[in-house]
Chain A
Amino acid sequence: MRKVTLKNYLTVAFGLFVLLAVNACNPSSNEKKNDASQVEAKELPGNSIYHIDGYWSDQNGDSLQLKAFAGKPVVFTMIFTHCEYACPMMVNDLKKLEALFSPEERQKFHFVMVSFDHVRDLPARLKEYAEAQELGSNWSLLHGNEDLVKELAIATDISFEFVDDGGIAHSNRKLVLDKQGVILKSFNGLGTDPELMKSVLEELF
Chain B
Amino acid sequence: MIFFILCFLDFVESSKAQVLTGMVRIDGGQFRPFVNDTGQRIRVKPFYLDAKAVTNREYKDFVEQNPRWGKQTVKAIFADENYLKHWENRQKDESANYPMVNVSWFAANAYCKSKGKRLPTTAEWELAASAPPVGSKYHDVNEIILLWYSRKMPEQAAVGSVYQNSNGIYDIFGLIWEWVDDFEKSAAGNQRDGGESIPEGLFCGSGSLGVSDVSDYATFIRYAFRGSLKGNFTSQKLGFRCAKSL
- Residue numbers of A with Cβ under 8 A of B are 45-49, 51-52, 147, 151, 153-155, 157, 159, 161, 163, 169-173, 188-189
Stretch at the interface among B150-158, B185-193, B212-220: B185-193
Chain B interface, number of residues (Cβ within 8 angstroms): 21
Across the interface, which residues of B come within 8 angstroms of A170, CB to CB?
A: 191
Known contacts A154-B184, A159-B192, A161-B185; A46/B230 CB under 8 A: no
Q: In the assembly, what is the distance between CA of A161 and CA of B187, in Å? A: 11
Chain A CB within 8 A of B76 CB: yes
Q: Within the complex, which residue of A51, A153, A169, A172 is in contact with B75, where a contact is CB–CB below 8 Å?
A: A51
| Contact, CB under 8 Å: A51 / B77 | yes
| CB atoms of B193 and A48 under 8 A apart | no
CB pair A47–B77 under 8 Å, yes or no, is yes
Supposing A151-B106, A154-B106 touch, asked if A171 and B193 sit within 8 A by C-beta, the answer is yes
Once A154-B184, A154-B231, A155-B231 are accepted as A-B contacts, the answer to whether A46 and B77 lie under 8 Å apart by CB is: yes
How distant is A59 from chain B, measured CB to nearest CB, in Å? 26
Within 8 Å CB of B76, what residues of A?
45-47
Instruction: Answer whether A171 and B77 are a contact pair too, CB < 8 Å, given A154-B184, A161-B185.
Output: no
- Chosen A-B contacts, 15 in total, with CB atoms closer than 8 Å, are A45-B76, A47-B77, A48-B75, A49-B77, A51-B78, A147-B113, A151-B231, A154-B105, A155-B77, A155-B78, A157-B192, A159-B184, A159-B185, A171-B191, A188-B194
A-binding residues in B (CB < 8 A): 75-78, 105-106, 109, 113, 182, 184-185, 187, 189, 191-195, 230-232
Instruction: Check A169 against B77 for contact (C-beta < 8 Å).
Output: no
User: In the complex, what distance in Å separates the CA atom of A47 from the CA atom of B78?
Assistant: 8
- On chain B, the residues within 8 Å of A173 by CB distance are 193
Which chain B residues border A188 with CB–CB below 8 Å?
193-195
The answer to whether B75 and A159 touch across the interface, beta carbons within 8 angstroms, is no
Other A-B pairs beyond A46-B77, A153-B184, A161-B185, 7, CB < 8 Å: A46-B76, A155-B78, A157-B192, A157-B230, A157-B231, A169-B191, A189-B193
In the bound complex, what is the Cα–Cα distance between A46 and B71 (angstroms)? 12
Give min CB distance, B232 to chain A, whole Å. Answer: 8
Whole-angstrom distance between the Cβ of A54 and the nearest chain B Cβ: 12
Q: Which residues of B contact A154 (CB under 8 A)?
A: 105-106, 184, 230-231
Task: Give A46 to B81 CA distance when docked, in angstroms.
Answer: 11
Closest 8 CB pairs of A and B: A46-B76, A154-B231, A188-B193, A47-B76, A51-B75, A46-B75, A159-B184, A171-B191
Q: Chain B nearest CB: distance from A204 CB in Å? A: 19
The reply to whether B189 and A172 form a contact with Cβ atoms under 8 Å apart is: no
- Give, as a whole number of angstroms, the nearest-CB distance from B190 to chain A: 9
CB distance from B123 to the nearest CB of A (A): 12
| A159-B76 Cα distance, complex, nearest whole Å | 20
Cα A188 to Cα B35 in complex, Å, equals 23
Q: Indicate if the CB atoms of B195 and A157 lie closer than 8 Å.
A: yes
